[in-house]
């Protein structure tokens, strides 16, 4: 798995954000080596859709999110927002575009300036972009804080340390919504939070999505969380996409051996036995400095064959709206032959 291709992309006319053949590489000191963080990833998001991007640490999911935001711009590939190509924009033009793309980070407390008050933090985007009069700005800050479940009269004069992690994440959501963005990129927004608070924030994001008509890219390592919030899920491994499809399809009938293994590794509070069965991955994710040839997952894949080390699999449709980059997918309606096990 872990291959290239664009078969899973939809009509460019209909998409809000479209990235094709993204590549991000970082040099390793002056050794001449490179970290292949994102290698030929293509994805698209329809207006109002939530795309969940899931993978282990080191799979390149955060780097992909940042490449879409052009911080930093990808090494190669194209990103279009609403039909406009945004890679290669000059810094001033890019700055003009920034209000349309906002981001929420993993650690809510460290992403708020500890020395400033909540009212200033949330209102700052409006002041920078000179949106409305002071009174209008103030009213919008109040309304947005209210919408995310923070009492504005009590909160505006306080500083971030006076709030819990969950409340700080609500404040971050409010700040991201101030400029009415077209797309919100959430990078592990709940993984630093307690399970009870996590559910509050997931529900909040769902509410905000309905209320403000948001389009979201939701990056997380927790499959159950991603399934809960997403309309479409993309699974990443070592800088490549493995599988793309609707959450219900992917989780019920994963086609990629890696997706299967990820699902099988989750200990479940609902069943007593499932962690001791199924596919268990051995070893760890290989170094992105020297990724395996062919399919990048082959070193850990239970169904790997000779072919996998020579030819990189390309994204193709195995059942309606389920795409997989694998030579030997677990199921494949589009080829009548040997499925799961190579002939």
Partner 1 sequence: MTATEADTNLSVGQRATLLEVVDLSTTFRTERGMVHAVDGVTFTLDRGRTLGIVGESGSGKTVLSRSIMGLLSGKNVIRTGSVKYEGTEIIGYSAKQMSNVWGAEMSMVFQDPMTSLNPVMKIGKQITESLRRHLGVDKDEADKTAIALLKSVGIPAPEQRLGEYPHQLSGGMRQRVTISIALACGPKILFADEPTTALDVTVQAQILDLLDEQQRERHMAMILVTHDLGVVRTRADEIIVMYGGKVVEQAPTSTLFASMKMPYTEALLRSIPRLDMPSHTRLDAIPGRPPNLISPPAGCNFAARCRYVQPRCLEERPPLVAAADPGHFYRCFFPVGTPEGDAALQANISAGTAVAAPATRSSTTSEES
Cβ atoms of residues 191 and 219 within 8 Å: no
Distance CA 271, CA 169 (A): 31
Applying CB under 8 A, among 76, 164, 293, 334 the residue interacting with partner 1 is: 164
Shortest Å, Cβ 71 to partner 1: 25
Check binding of 110 to partner 1 (CB under 8 A): no
Stretch that binds partner 1, among 93-101, 109-117, 159-167, 179-187 (CB under 8 A): 159-167
Cβ proximity to partner 1: between 117 and 221 the closer is 221
Distance CA 48, CA 16 (A): 9
Shortest Å, Cβ 271 to partner 1: 8
Applying CB under 8 A, among 31, 91, 196, 337 the residue interacting with partner 1 is: 196
Cβ proximity to partner 1: between 206 and 309 the closer is 206
Contact mark string toward partner 1, 57..96, x via CB under 8 A: x---------------------------------------
Applying CB under 8 A, among 85, 136, 194, 333 the residue interacting with partner 1 is: 194
* Contacts of 342 by beta carbon, 8 Å cutoff, 6+ apart: 303, 305, 307, 327, 328
Check binding of 13 to partner 1 (CB under 8 A): no
DSSP of 3-60, one letter per residue?
BB--TT---TTT-SEEEEEEEEEEE-TTSS-EEEEEEEEEEEE-TT-EEEEE--TTSS
Cβ proximity to partner 1: between 61 and 182 the closer is 61
Enter the DSSP assignment of 314. Answer: B
Stretch that binds partner 1, among 23-31, 101-109, 271-279, 334-342 (CB under 8 A): 271-279
Stretch that binds partner 1, among 14-22, 41-49, 128-136, 219-227 (CB under 8 A): 219-227
Applying CB under 8 A, among 29, 269, 337, 341 the residue interacting with partner 1 is: 269
Shortest Å, Cβ 16 to partner 1: 19
Cβ atoms of residues 288 and 60 within 8 Å: yes
Scored b (16 or more CB within 10 A) or e, 305-337 reads eeebeeebbebbbbbeebbbbbbbbbebeeeee
Cα distances (angstroms) measured from residue 66 to each of 127, 229, 295: 25, 20, 24
Determine the straight-line distance between the first and last CA of the chain, rounded to whole angstroms: 18
Cβ atoms of residues 335 and 25 within 8 Å: no
* Contacts of 136 by beta carbon, 8 Å cutoff, 6+ apart: none
Check binding of 337 to partner 1 (CB under 8 A): no
Residues 316, 318, 319, CA angle at the centre, nearest 5°? Answer: 130
Check binding of 284 to partner 1 (CB under 8 A): yes
Cβ proximity to partner 1: between 150 and 304 the closer is 150
Distance CA 249, CA 255 (A): 9
Check binding of 151 to partner 1 (CB under 8 A): yes
Stretch that binds partner 1, among 19-27, 80-88, 93-101, 163-171 (CB under 8 A): 163-171
Check binding of 275 to partner 1 (CB under 8 A): yes
- Residues engaged in binding partner 1 (CB under 8 A): 56-57, 149-151, 154-155, 158, 163-164, 166-167, 194-200, 202-204, 206-207, 221-225, 227-231, 246-248, 251, 261-276, 280-282, 284-285
């Amino acid at each position: 798995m872990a291959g290239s291709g664009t078969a899973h992309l939809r009509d460019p006319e209909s998409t809000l954000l479209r990235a094709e053949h993204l590549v991000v590489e970082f040099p390793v000191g002056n050794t001449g080596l490179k970290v292949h963080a994102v290698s030929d990833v293509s994805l698209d998001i329809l207006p109002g859709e939530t795309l969940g991007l899931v993978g282990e640490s080191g799979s390149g999911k955060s780097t992909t999110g940042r490449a879409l935001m052009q911080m930093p711009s990808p090494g190669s590939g194209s990103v279009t927002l609403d039909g406009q190509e945004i890679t290669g924009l000059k810094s001033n033009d890019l700055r003009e575009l920034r209000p349309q793309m906002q981001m929420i980070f993993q650690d809510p407390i460290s992403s708020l300036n500890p020395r400033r008050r909540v009212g200033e933090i949330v209102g700052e985007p409006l002041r920078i972009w000179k949106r409305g009069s002071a009174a209008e700005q103030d009213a919008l800050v109040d309304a947005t804080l209210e919408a995310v479940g923070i009492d504005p009269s009590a909160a505006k004069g306080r500083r971030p340390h006076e709030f819990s992690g969950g409340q700080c994440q609500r404040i971050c959501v409010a700040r991201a919504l101030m400029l009415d963005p077209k797309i919100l990129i959430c990078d592990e927004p709940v993984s630093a939070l307690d399970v009870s608070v996590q559910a509050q924030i997931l529900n909040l994001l769902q509410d905000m999505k309905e209320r403000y008509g948001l389009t979201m890219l939701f990056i997380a390592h927790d499959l159950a969380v991603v399934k809960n919030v997403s309309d479409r899920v993309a699974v990443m491994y070592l800088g490549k996409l493995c599988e793309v499809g609707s959450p219900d399809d992917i989780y019920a009938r994963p086609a990629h051996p890696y997706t299967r293994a990820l699902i099988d590794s989750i200990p479940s509070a609902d069943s007593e036995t499932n962690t001791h069965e199924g596919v268990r991955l051995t070893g760890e994710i290989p170094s992105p400095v020297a990724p395996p040839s062919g399919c990048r997952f082959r070193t850990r894949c239970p169904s790997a064959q000779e072919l996998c080390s020579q030819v990189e699999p390309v994204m193709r449709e195995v059942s309606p709206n389920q795409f997989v980059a694998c030579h030997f997918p677990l199921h494949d309606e589009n080829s009548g032959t040997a499925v799961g096990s190579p002939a």
